[in-house]
Amino acid sequence: PPPPPPPPPSGSSSTFSTEQSTSRFLTQATFGPTSEQVLPLVGTDVSDWLVAEFNKPGTSSLEDLAIYAGRISGEAEFNFIVGNSTTNTFWRDAVQGDAQLRDRMAFALSQILVASTFGGELLQDLPQPMAYYQDVLKRNAFGNYRDLLEEVTYSPAMGHYLTYLGNEKGDPATGRMPDENYAREILQLFTIGLVELNIDGTSVLGANGQPVELYTNADITGLAKVFTGLDLANAERDDPTFDNAEILNDWNVPLEIFPEAHSTEAKSFLGTTIPAGTQAEASIDAALDHIMAHPNVGPFVGRQLIQRFTPSNPDPDYVRRVAEVFNRGRFTLPNGTSVGDGRKGDLAATISAVFLDPDNDFDTALASPTFGKLREPILRFTHWARVTGVDASRPEYASLLYDTISPRDLNQ
């Protein structure tokens, strides 16, 4: 049997001991505390709050789009929805949603596994794929990072954003090569980074005193062959008709595999080779399993989650403790409840470790001149909106919130 998990960090059971400590914790874990939230929690156990938040299902952005469409057009159909209106679902959840930790975790994951409407084009004009992507992040917020990577890989929004939608196998006759965009970003941004890491997130140094690079472009070329053959079910994806529900619905479901477009050549990357003749689904599974097994994933993802919630420049020991929980897939809450299923990448266990680490203890953190972070403008805004009781139930009519890119808006 696996060894028992370590005891919970000292002091974490006092997280809700005062109004100040309770408010400070909820500032980290939600889109902003209100008096109505803080006062009932004072004197309770943070373990109960975390478990309750883990069990809240949250809302569906896709379902919200149907509601907005019905209000605007008079019919609850996807026949017309204002472009970029997935922003509306975000504001509604952030300001008035009940599943606050799930939504905050999805927001944090969206800053690591980035797909964006920025730059216009299809993802801004057609809200369905980004709404589906938001649902993927919310659904997997407390699941396993490996499962999240798989859903992200098969999501139409990511396929379009990182240009592997319709990615075809190489053709020696024409010189065509598989698109390398997603293969590069899934390593560099989503899982392991660029250089070898110690468990505490610091760089491993080579004999020359420089960080050890993890891979070359040959690894990217080999991995790119894995992500060939994924596409929408409908061939008219490049010219979507906004009143054609059949075409639009292809953006609301996982990408399909088209075997004739998938490369069955051997795929070599990161010290492994997927044998020639391996079909797309098996290739993707093998690639994601191999990436997930890399020792960098725990400290690379763990450090970014720390930065999204607690300090922007965490101590290496803090990163190590969180990475160890990510790898172990289990964490013991202050009341003795075990969180996580024991598989590497359990996000409920990992986020518990982020919040309840000794470095994040209320008194310890306040005594440190280097602990903490500036709140992002979005989080400052949502906290103001929640404290002042802004009604976000009809965000489709808040035109100023459709697009907050300009520094004049939120100073983001």
* 203 exposure class (CB count in 10 Å sphere: 0-12, 13-18, 19+): middle
In the structure encoding, which two tokens stand for residue 58, read together?
């949250």
* 159 exposure class (CB count in 10 Å sphere: 0-12, 13-18, 19+): buried
Q: Which of 90, 86, 294 is nearest to 186 (CA)?
A: 294
Regions in the chain scoring below 70 on pLDDT:
1-13, 69-84, 119-120, 235-247, 396
166 secondary structure, DSSP code? T
Task: Supply the pLDDT for residue 5.
Answer: 55
Q: Cβ distance 225 to 180 under 8 Å?
A: no
Please spell the DSSP secondary structure of 303-332, one letter per residue. HHHHHHHS-SS--HHHHHHHHHHHHHT-EE
Q: Which of 392, 388, 317 is nearest to 353 (CA)?
A: 317
Q: Angle between the 297-309 and 316-328 helix axes, to the nearest 10 degrees?
A: 120
- The C-alpha atoms of residue 217 and residue 232 are separated, in whole angstroms, by 28
- The C-alpha atoms of residue 211 and residue 78 are separated, in whole angstroms, by 50
| Secondary structure E strands in 116-255 | 230-231
- The C-alpha atoms of residue 404 and residue 412 are separated, in whole angstroms, by 8
β partners of residue 371: none
Length of the chain counted residue by residue: 412
In angstroms, the Cα distances linking 144 to 68, 137, 366 are 31, 11, 32
49 secondary structure, DSSP code? H
| Most distant pair of Cα atoms in the chain: their distance | 71
Task: Supply the pLDDT for residue 236.
Answer: 54
